[in-house]
Amino acid sequence: MSRPLVVDSVAALRAQVRDWRRDGLNIAMVPTMGALHDGHISLVEIALEKADRCVVSIFVNPTQFAPSEDLDKYPRQLARDLERLRQAGAQLAFTPAVKQMYPAGFATKISVGGPAAGLESDFRPTFFDGVATVVAKLFLQASPDFAVFGEKDYQQLCVVRQLCRDLDMPVEIIGAPTVRDAHGLAMSSRNAYLGDAELEVARQLNAILRRAAVALAAGTNEDSATAEASRALVKAGFDKVDYVAARESLTLAPWRLGRDGRLLAAAWLGKTRLIDNVEVLSA
Amino acid sequence: MSRPLVVDSVAALRAQVRDWRRDGLNIAMVPTMGALHDGHISLVEIALEKADRCVVSIFVNPTQFAPSEDLDKYPRQLARDLERLRQAGAQLAFTPAVKQMYPAGFATKISVGGPAAGLESDFRPTFFDGVATVVAKLFLQASPDFAVFGEKDYQQLCVVRQLCRDLDMPVEIIGAPTVRDAHGLAMSSRNAYLGDAELEVARQLNAILRRAAVALAAGTNEDSATAEASRALVKAGFDKVDYVAARESLTLAPWRLGRDGRLLAAAWLGKTRLIDNVEVLSA
């Protein structure tokens, strides 16, 4: 595979996309914040199954971090990311500077309701405004036919779908299965923050959620099942549980037995916040 | 001129735009709420000077009306509008239903800061959210190369420019001079609400603003000049003045002598609210 073309300006991005379109090629985008892992690479692979060309954006978006969060220490490793993209066959890496994305005087915000309500928003109240605004910008900059997002950030995937439907963005959103290590831990750039002992605890998150999802599908009362899962997380060694909650798969409205559901959770290990989610099978 | 093609679905709109693009034609859009008058027609004429094809949207956008405002009585006259568009040479009228634009579950809002602050927003706090959201949708539906907006709604023009710049919309925004009757009254669909006596009063709005703008350019203190204009409006017969204010032309930040300025006003005649604005020449 050859190295991806690396561009940091919207003009250069659009020029390349225009050339591809003139050649009749279609385009899939994978928005990322860099620190690429196997999860991201699986998104690139799915993108290249759907489209002729894959654009990967690498941009640590400051507007989706709260002042108290880990913007400054978020891992940045561009050279390594570009090597991984070369191996995966992505054709273009878009690496805008913050001032390219948010020039002086920038003053626009997109707020999505519906699936953005609750869960992450209860703990990161401005997070999805930041995500929706940057995703809209990236789509308007690159004008992809497809965009691939991981189910690991399940609520984000639902919010992006809602954004595109509501604003008539001509982009098909593709959700991709979460990539996990051999112990079930979902790949995340934030896993790099974990020490060895924390990693052992983190690896129990998915199993605890899967157990709770089976109980829910079998008819266990929702409050009991999620409370039990929270207790199990603390017992496993998590320091704090932000939420464990069952929701309808598409709308993230309250879940009811017999409907396709998703069980979502966020919990802290020291200063690291992990999220995960699993399917709740309808009976 | 032949009749414009009339479409009410996004799919049909996109199909026509795609055909035009395949033929190498470019496209200008004129978003309207219908009740077309000579001001709108001048926008269509400017659109056809810039582009090969002109798409006019006719959509009375409920989200930019407050509950207390005139959504229900806003004039609707589609047959007459289409005849005027035929005469002007517009090739397509896009007439979506409310449920096409805002289907069940719609949950996204775009908020623009900067030029949207103050002036109209002080009296219509949700107005520009409604405008920004519907304009973004229309641009994403039609993907025009250009869009033409009248300077009559001067703050709206500034807000749309900010929206497009901030979200990287690939649309060039063209501001068009206000069309006035022989007495200086700016064309507005809401002029239809005015009785004969009110019309006589309304016709003094522009002259009063022009007089104040000359005074400002000559160095009269801003507070004095705008207060004097407000008094003149009431003396002329206006029932209430929402604001008379000088702002910088591009940013709508506070104006200072020597900078390109705009004097903007909103005032009531009975139940009808009129707005207008004039240039403040820099010395």
Q: Could you tell me if A14 and A136 lie in one domain? A: yes
Flag whether A60 is in a domain.
Answer: yes
A10-35 pLDDT, tens digit each: 999 999 999 999 999 999 999 999 99
For residues A28 and A120, membership in a common domain is answered with: yes
Same-domain status, A168 and A228: no
Cα-based distances in Å from A85 to A8, A37, A167, B262: 16, 10, 30, 51
- Same domain for B172 and B205? no
Whether residue A181 is contained in a domain is answered as: no
| B chain contacts of residue A163, beta-carbon cutoff 8 Å | 108
Domain harbouring A37, CATH code: 3.40.50.620
Q: Using CA atoms, how far apart are residues B119 and A210, in angstroms rounded to an integer?
A: 54
**A chain contacts of residue B161, beta-carbon cutoff 8 Å:** none
Same domain, A126 and A207: no
Residue A282's pLDDT band, with cuts at 50, 70 and 90, is confident
Do the domain assignments include residue B16?
yes
Q: Say which residues have a Cβ less than 8 Å from residue A45's Cβ, sequence separation at least 6.
A: A88
Give the pLDDT band (50/70/90) at residue A283. low
Q: Which of A17, A27, A32, A40 is catalytic?
A: A40
Cross-chain Cβ contact B111/A111 below 8 Å: yes
Residues 6+ apart with CB under 8 A from A150: A39, A40, A42, A43, A157, A175, A176, A177, A178, A179
Q: Per-residue confidence of chain B (283 residues) as pLDDT tens digits? A: 789 999 999 999 999 999 999 999 999 999 999 999 999 999 999 999 999 999 999 999 999 999 999 999 999 999 999 999 999 999 999 999 999 999 999 999 999 999 999 999 999 999 999 999 999 999 999 999 999 999 999 999 999 999 999 999 999 999 999 999 999 999 999 999 999 999 999 999 999 999 999 999 999 999 999 999 999 999 999 999 999 999 999 999 999 999 999 999 999 999 999 999 999 987 6
Q: A59 phi and psi, to 5 degrees?
A: -155, 115
Mutation target vs A (from B166, B171, B248; most A CBs, 10 A cutoff): B166
Which of A97-101, A182-186, B1-5, B156-160 bottoms out in mean pLDDT, i.e. has the lowest?
Answer: B1-5
Tens digit of each residue's pLDDT (9 = 90 or more) over B217-262: 999 999 999 999 999 999 999 999 999 999 999 999 999 999 999 9
Burial per residue of B164-186, b for 16 or more beta-carbon CB atoms within 10 angstroms, e otherwise: bbbbbbebebbbbebbbeeebbb
Tell whether A92 and A211 lie within a shared domain.
Answer: no
Judge if A90 and A217 occupy the same domain.
Answer: no
Q: Determine the structural domain holding residue A232 and report its residue range.
A: 189-278
Mean pLDDT across the stretch A156-163?
Answer: 98
B148 in Cβ contact with B43 (< 8 Å) = yes
Contact A112 B111 (CB under 8 A): no
Q: Please choose, from the candidates B69, B82, B76, the residue with its C-alpha nearest in 3D space to the C-alpha of residue B123.
A: B69
For residue B12, tell me if it sits in a domain.
Answer: yes
Q: If you average pLDDT over residues A121-125, what whole number do you get?
A: 97
| Residues B130, B203 within the same domain | no
Answer whether residue A214 shows pLDDT above 70.
yes
For residue A33, tell me if it sits in a domain.
Answer: yes
* B10·A166 Cβ contact <8 A: no
Eight-state DSSP code of residue B219: T
Residue A156 phi/psi, 5-degree rounding, is -60, -45
In a domain, A128, yes or no: yes
Over residues A234-270, the pLDDT tens digits come to 999 999 999 999 999 999 999 999 999 999 999 999 9
Identify whether B181 is part of a domain. Answer: no
Task: Name the amino acid, one letter, at A122.
Answer: D
CA distance A212 to A244: 10
Do B168 and B203 reside in the same domain of the chain? no
Q: Is the pLDDT of residue A1 over 90?
A: no
Number of domains within chain B = 2
Helices (H), chain A: 10-22, 38-50, 78-88, 98-101, 120-123, 127-142, 154-166, 196-202, 205-217, 222-236
Q: Is the ipTM of this complex over 0.90?
A: yes
The pLDDT score that the predictor gives to residue A87 is 98
| Percent with pLDDT over 70 in chain A | 100
Domain co-membership, A208 together with A272: yes
- B150 and B117, same domain (yes or no): yes
For residue A183, is it within any domain?
Answer: no
What integer best gives the mean pLDDT of chain A? 97
Residue at which a domain ends, from B128, B148, B176: B176
Same domain for B111 and B245: no
Residue A198 belongs to a domain with what CATH number?
3.30.1300.10
